[in-house]
Amino acid sequence: MTAVLRPWADGDSVAELTALLHAAYASLAAQGWNFTAVDQPESVTRERLAGAHAFVAVAPDGRLVGTVAVSDPKSAEAGYLADPAPPLYCQPDTAVLAQLAVHPDWRGQGLAERLMDAAEAWAHSQGYAHAALDTAEPATALRQRYARRGYAECGRVQWQGKTYASVLMRKRLHATQP
């Protein structure tokens, strides 16, 4: 079985995407990390999609089984969700990646890598020199996954209401990006 990657479309279901995020992040919640995607309502999914270029992975039966969102730099004045945007997310040469998720039934097939490739390629095609993201500091496996892709830790942030501190990570995008 192979999932097809494509951009998010206006007719896609926000409810289905939200359910995918909940399923994908459940294992992180079980470790005590309250990532936003663990239980975000559809309104937050819509807010996170607004202004972002999202990609989805679609199973042969039409279900959404993966996603990632990439967006332009944040405005320091507007912030990021309910928090002030960290300076890294406001740099004009840096795209921001968020909400990487793969349904548990579809893990181990390289889908997360394909989604990251698509997001990074889009960012590069838009002229961004870097991509940035954040993840829970205690999530060692996630930090290592991003480091293998060339992301380097470059700061810390404590998001409002989170049970963990997050690491900020940044990667230089090259012309050879897929």
Q: Please, what sign has the CA dihedral across residues 24, 124, 3, 143? A: negative
Note the pLDDT tens digit of each residue in 80-136: 767 777 888 889 999 999 999 999 999 999 999 999 999 999 999 999 999 999 999
Residue 51 falls in which region: left (phi positive, over 0), alpha (psi -120 to 50) or beta: left
pLDDT score at 175: 60
146: pLDDT strictly greater than 90: yes
Specify the 3-state DSSP secondary structure of 54: strand
Split at pLDDT 50, 70, 90, the class of 177 is: very low
Predicted structure pTM score: 0.92
C-alpha Rg value of the chain to the nearest Å? 15
Note the pLDDT tens digit of each residue in 14-45: 999 999 999 999 999 999 899 999 999 999 99
Q: How many residues does the chain have?
A: 178
Domains and CATH numbers, the chain: 4-128 (3.40.630.30)
